[in-house]
Structure 1
Amino acid sequence: MKVNREMVAQAGLKLLNEVGLEQLTLRRLGTELKVQAAAIYWHFKSKEALLDEMATMVLAEGAPHLVPARRGSDWKIWAAAFGHGLRKTLLAYRDGARMVSGTELTNTEYMKTVESIGSRLLEAGFSLRQTVVLLSTIYSYTLSFVMEEQAVYPRPKERSPRYDIARRKARLDADELPLLRQSGSILFDRFDRRYKEGLELILQGAAAQKISGK
């Protein structure tokens, strides 16, 4: 069987969903594709190079979700759509956030979408620096948020026993850590709500900065 880069990366994403990031190796991928490891190494010299291609593919695939349905929407809707769309994109794959983190994109498809979002913020009156800081803050918040979310739920609706809320509460002393003892249901459940609340805090701060002109 002859394989190309796209076939290998697609197979890598399929294997990622099956075994997770740690167990994804080039040799295992070769076995899945029924080709010699050398055929995989011909296209990707390392796991890092493979992850670069996989991340590029995932972000390009999710790019349409990063912009609002109505192009005439105000800047907050554009910024919020970027965050919510990115979270949806990362959650589409097991360990999606960890897989994307730290990768180097191999094409500019995703970047073109971010460029259009940034242009909308500039039109709304943000400076170049404010635009870059806002989008990078939303990106970093979303990436770290989904990493935590996928640690709690390695697979959709399958909570890791390590994040049992009742057991966590029982371990924490009510007198010494009363706030943290009550925080479990906020930190490790109802992620949709908490993500939206955290993103809104970022957007409120951006709005205040835009008004002050700083």
Structure 2
Amino acid sequence: MSQLTRAHVVQAALEALEAKGLEGLSVRVVADHLGVRMNTVLWHVKTKARMLDLMADAVVGEIGYEGLPAGAPERARELACRYRQALLAHRDGAALVAGTYPAEPNTLRFAESVVSALLEAGAGEKEAAWTAWTMIYFVVGLTQEEQAAPVPGDTRLVQAVNAADHPALDRVVGHLAHGSFEERFVFGLDALLARLTA
């Protein structure tokens, strides 16, 4: 590739992520994917950590802002939904984003949109900031669990819980099935945003 750019490197890194997963991703893997030397990749991204930051920002950059609800609480909810979908669209997408702290354009745009919606919904400055952080961490954490979940039919949790040693867990274990991520997402989002509409 004669005109290799940082954008090409990030795109190649995302393609390598799909093929190898986050654990199998390295600067060398990206270089091999591009058919260039490792130093060529490092010239554009400097370090693996920087490459991961740029990848995470690119994932968040896939969030669309068209057609968002006019109402502020509904807009905050929809942004959280679109954030989750962007993470789910990539293998290990949530784990990638969880391990990075990019102060990059796409990430900042998303944070600005969420905080703006929360402020407009009536949250104070501290509440808006902390609610945004809580919402982002909730989405990332739940999505990371979803992407790492065992295959359907895995019964390890059910088998590990017994009424004698875990009486409370035994009562609720049926509600912790790996297939309930969508419902848990909605439940958690409702709980987070309830204060704004109280």
Return the TM-score normalized by structure 1. Answer: 0.82
Equivalent residue, structure 2, for 1:127:
124
Which consecutive unaligned segments of at least 5 residues does structure 1 have?
154-158, 209-214
Q: What is the aligned-residue identity percentage?
A: 31
Equivalent residue, structure 2, for 1:193:
183
- What is the alpha-carbon distance in structure 1 between the residues aligned to residue 99 and residue 23 of structure 2? 15
Equivalent residue, structure 2, for 1:93:
90
Runs of 4+ more than 3 Å apart? 205-208
Equivalent residue, structure 2, for 1:44:
45
SS in 1 for 2:36: coil
Equivalent residue, structure 1, for 2:158:
169
Inter-CA distance 33–106: structure 2 relative to 1 (3 Å threshold): farther
Which consecutive unaligned segments of at least 5 residues does structure 2 have?
none
Task: Indicate conservation of the 8 Å contact 1:168/1:184, yes or no.
Answer: no
SS in 2 for 1:176: coil
Partner deviation per Cα, 1:168-212 (whole Å, 9 max, x = no partner): 32232232213324415524222111111111111124444xxxx
Deviation at 1:108, TM superposition (A): 1.8
Task: Indicate conservation of the 8 Å contact 1:26/1:37, yes or no.
Answer: yes
Task: Indicate conservation of the 8 Å contact 2:146/2:181, yes or no.
Answer: yes
Partner deviation per Cα, 1:97-116 (whole Å, 9 max, x = no partner): 11112423253234234323
- What is the alpha-carbon distance in structure 2 between the residues aligned to residue 188 and residue 137 of structure 1? 22
1:149 pairs with 2:146: yes
- What is the alpha-carbon distance in structure 1 between the residues aligned to residue 76 and residue 57 of structure 2? 21
Task: Indicate conservation of the 8 Å contact 1:9/1:54, yes or no.
Answer: yes
Inter-CA distance 27–198: structure 2 relative to 1 (3 Å threshold): same
1:72 pairs with 2:61: no
State how many pairs are aligned: 196
Task: Indicate conservation of the 8 Å contact 2:6/2:44, yes or no.
Answer: yes
Root-mean-square deviation (CA), in Å? 2.2
- What is the alpha-carbon distance in structure 2 between the residues aligned to residue 184 and residue 173 of structure 1? 12
Inter-CA distance 104–172: structure 2 relative to 1 (3 Å threshold): closer
